[in-house]
Amino acid sequence: MKDSYQREITYLRLSVTDLCNLRCRYCMPAEGVVKKQHSDICSVEELVEMAAAAADCGVTKVRLTGGEPLVRRGILDICRGIRALPGIRELCLTTNGILLPELAGPLREAGVERLNVSLDTLRPDRYAWMTRRGELGQVLRGLEAAAQAGFTGTKVNVVLMAGFNDDEVEDFVALTEQYPLEVRFIELMPMGQAGEGYLPGDTVLERCRSLTPAESAGVARRWRLPGGKGLVGLIEPMSHRFCGSCDRIRITADGRLKPCLHSGQEIPLRGLHGEDLRCAIRQGVAAKPERHHMAEEGRSRAGRDMNQIGG
């Protein structure tokens, strides 16, 4: 399925909840979010039906996100349902890792192929401060559990923030020497709760001169340390706008299609079935804007906090 700028759309990021067991300062308000009525959030069946319709339209890869997808009741059923869809070749999940010690094995059995684990600091005190409640050791145990469960190619997502973790760039890069992980530094986007602290991805290259170029993957530019087991990726929505190669759409946990993360445009999908549902998805894809305007406007037009969209 092509959008009006001839981009092939093959990737769906499906949010399964806006709730979270953490409160990262740049993502969620301290008090969390008002718990929606059960009926305001898509059921397991609705989510699988929407993914199936997207697959019929040409989507081949689904990433489950949130909020925190692992706090969603029925997450394993969602995974199994989507994995079984003809046309879906890849099922991935983005998580803060807190619940991975108990769920890594079941997720693998339910058909999840790859994990992205968000981890912005390797220092326990900083982690507790940034997440307002998390324990770093739990995430590290989660990463270990993922490896033991057979996950390979796990990515560690690090949002780069001046004055918070920019002095840890070298420590994160050093992880890739020993472990077969991809550490991905993400530029902080001006949306929702996010305030000051943006740093361009190039900061990583300035700090780590020994990195050598590796093959790019999707929207990530990548490098590796000589002899390193892992990779270092840069996701640079601000400084290297990658809209020209965007291949994704999003569906929020309340069932609205967002053709672009940074646009206020939303197409309600709930209550639609069969050809009507496919038609609404195609309409959303046709309405996908050419690019975002965060650099000129200094703010995203997303209209929701990140936890309510799915990063």
Q: Which chain residues interact with ligand SF4 by CB under 6 A?
A: 20, 22-24, 27-28, 66-68, 96, 118, 306-307
Contact 57, 1 (CB under 8 A): yes
Q: Does 172 bind ligand SAM (CB under 6 A)?
A: no
| The one segment of 88-96, 106-114, 209-217, 265-273 that binds ligand SAM by CB under 6 A | 88-96
Cross-strand partners of 69: none
Residues 100-129, mask of contacts with ligand SAM (x by CB under 6 A) = ------------------x-----------
**23: partner contacted, choices ligand SF4, ligand SAM, none (Cβ within 5-8 A by kind):** ligand SF4
**28: partner contacted, choices ligand SF4, ligand SAM, none (Cβ within 5-8 A by kind):** ligand SF4
Listed in sequence order, the residues at least 6 apart from 52 whose beta carbon sits closer than 8 Å to its beta carbon are 85
**308: partner contacted, choices ligand SAM, ligand SF4, none (Cβ within 5-8 A by kind):** none
Q: How far apart are CA 115 and CA 138, in angstroms?
A: 16
Contact 118, 95 (CB under 8 A): yes
Other C-beta atoms closer than 10 Å to the C-beta of 142 total 24
Residues 46-75, mask of contacts with ligand SAM (x by CB under 6 A) = -------------------xx-x-------
Name the minimum Å distance from CB 14 to ligand SAM. 12
Name the minimum Å distance from CB 106 to ligand SF4. 20
Give 226: exposed, middle or buried? Use CB within 10 Å, 0-12, 13-18, 19+. exposed
Q: Which residue is nearest to ligand SAM (CB)?
A: 311
**Residue 166 DSSP one-character state:** G
Q: Write out the H or E segment, with its range, that includes residue 251.
A: strand 248-251
Other C-beta atoms closer than 10 Å to the C-beta of 118 total 22
What residues numbered 252-291 form the site for ligand SAM, per CB under 6 A? none
CA distances to 4, 127, 151, 177, 230 from 180, in Å: 38, 23, 11, 8, 4
| Cβ nearer to ligand SF4, comparing 125 with 215 | 125
| Cβ nearer to ligand SF4, comparing 142 with 284 | 142
Cross-strand partners of 249: 12
Q: Is 74 left (phi over 0), alpha (psi -120 to 50) or beta?
A: left
Binding site for ligand SAM (CB under 6 A): 20, 26-27, 65-66, 68, 94-96, 118, 157, 159, 186, 188-189, 191, 194, 306-307, 311
